[in-house]
Amino acid sequence: MADTAETSTEPIVSTTCGAVRGTVRDGVAAFLGVPFAAPPVGAAAFAAPAPHEPWEGVRDATAYGPTAPQIGYPAPIAALLDNDIELGDDYLNVNVWTPDPSASGLPVMVWIHGGAFARGSNRLAIYAGDTFARDGVVFVGINYRLGIPGFASIEGAPENRGLLDQIAALNWVRDNVAAFGGDPAKVTIVGESAGAMSVASLLSSPRATGLFHGAVMESGNGSAAVAVEDARMVTARLAGLLEITPDAAGFSSVSTELLLKAQTDLALEAQMNPDPALFGRTVIEVGMGIMTLMPVVDGEVLPNLPEASIAAGAGAGVPLMAGWNADEFRFFLVPTGVAAIATEEMARTMIGGYPGAVAELDEHLAAGTAVGDALCMVLTGIAFRNGTVKLAQLRPDEQTYLYEFGVPNDVAGIGAGHAVEIPYVFDHLEAAQRLTGPDAPQAVADAMHSAWVDFVKTGAPGWDRYLTDQTVRRFD
């Protein structure tokens, strides 16, 4: 990690694999699409991440790199949230924004994107880290394998390959971030949705111990992992759709296009017929009809459910900030029309397996709440709020800070729905009017962005650690 050479517009940084050339804009240097592991293609698609081959000369890092193979969001969701897909082999890459590559000791934020472990990338405009670099933080946005290559439990392949990619990215940060001005001893991981669930997994994984020193979970929980035997039921159904053997050799023989088609067909099948006898009990309960591929409890990367490991002391000494959005599930059920057609019978069927959920639904209905609205409220608690509070309660002696985001997008009818907080956190309201609505309050973005910057820099966001619901910071 030798020297940093810089001109006014084209800084050059030396990494462990070779030199990269970035750009400078408004005083912030950006290095985009920098590989942190070898391309996971061919036989490597179902192997653990491997080191990238060194390159000769100076590699251009002035444009975003490719994304993990995936398909776009369904039209109602795509109308609110972008998903910039660019296929290519070198998709295990990072984007780095830094206030000064020649500095030293700057705090570091590593962003892990969401997308239900099947979609997303580090290319989105609302994920640009220039605003964090502007405020003194070295920002690193990572990619990781998604869907079948990342999370299917396959005989002959290591489990949790997507998590192993995240850990490989954190190792790259440890070995290289000083060359960009950052301090490898001041790394905070931050994730949203599946990214937040990944943060919980990393907190609980012995493979990630010591690679980060603070953690932020936006709209996640500590229960997003499934039993291997249930995950293998999903694998068997995928193999049946593809007419292959349910092992690494079989899946390696199939094109990316066919893998994505089978993955999409199976996800639709699980939504239409969420039968535990077909997909496994934990897959249906944890996935809630949204996720069929996710981390597995393998005894190595994940010794146990993240929340169980955290209760036993995993992640001790790591400050954690975590929160939820007040209307999370409106993002999923309103644009798709499900909320509008929901009946009481349908709602009770959807939530019947969760303790206390039906009673809570009935309370909302008795108060005159429409069925679809009541269903969104109950599911928000099940999937996000309750699990976040539980994590804080499992860490009674730790620095754990909770928040609730409540600024609605009334134009789209999604309220303070899932993902709406992201452009506030990144101070990128200008890039997200479809998601936030046209009159998003800049004052809330100022407050949230400042809290995240403070947490990355100091391990505290500016309010008291969680003791009771009275110590939850509300952004509304």
Q: Distance between CA atoms of 112 and 197, rounded to whole angstroms? A: 10
Res. 1 pLDDT band, cuts 50 70 90: very low
Could you tell me the maximum CA-CA distance found in the chain, to the nearest angstrom? 69
pLDDT at 3 over 80: no
Res. 6 pLDDT band, cuts 50 70 90: very low
Q: Is 198 annotated in the active site?
A: no
Q: Catalytic pick from 328, 398, 404, 421?
A: 328
Q: Is 121 annotated in the active site?
A: no
Q: Catalytic pick from 121, 193, 223, 252?
A: 193
Which pLDDT score is estimated for 5? 41
Which pLDDT score is estimated for 2? 32
Mean pLDDT over 156-161 rounds to: 98
Q: Is 193 annotated in the active site?
A: yes
Q: Catalytic pick from 418, 421, 428, 449?
A: 418
Q: Distance between CA atoms of 15 and 194, rounded to whole angstroms? A: 29
pLDDT 10s digits, 35-88: 999 999 988 999 999 999 999 999 999 999 999 999 999 999 999 998 899 999
295: amino acid identity, one letter:
P
Q: Distance between CA atoms of 173 and 203, rounded to whole angstroms? A: 17
Within 10 angstroms of residue 268's Cβ, the number of other Cβ atoms is 11
Report the percent of the chain where pLDDT is more than 70: 98
Res. 403 pLDDT band, cuts 50 70 90: very high
In this structure, is the dihedral angle defined by the CA atoms of residues 212, 213, 218 and 223, taken in order, positive or negative?
positive
- Helix (H) or strand (E) holding 199, with range, is helix 194-204
Mean pLDDT over 382-404 rounds to: 97
Res. 113 pLDDT band, cuts 50 70 90: very high
Which pLDDT score is estimated for 155? 97
Burial category of 183 from C-beta neighbours within 10 Å (exposed 0-12, middle 13-18, buried 19 and up): middle
* Local structure of residue 381 (DSSP, 8 states): I
CA separation (Å) from 120 to 125, 137, 190, 201, 373?
A: 12, 23, 15, 18, 27
Q: How many residues does the chain have?
A: 476
Mean pLDDT over 301-310 rounds to: 98
Domains, the chain: 4-226 (3.40.50.1820), 227-296 (no CATH), 319-475 (no CATH)
CA separation (Å) from 230 to 283, 286, 403?
A: 6, 11, 33
Burial category of 60 from C-beta neighbours within 10 Å (exposed 0-12, middle 13-18, buried 19 and up): middle
pLDDT 10s digits, 322-381: 999 999 999 999 999 999 999 999 999 999 889 899 999 999 999 999 999 999 999 999
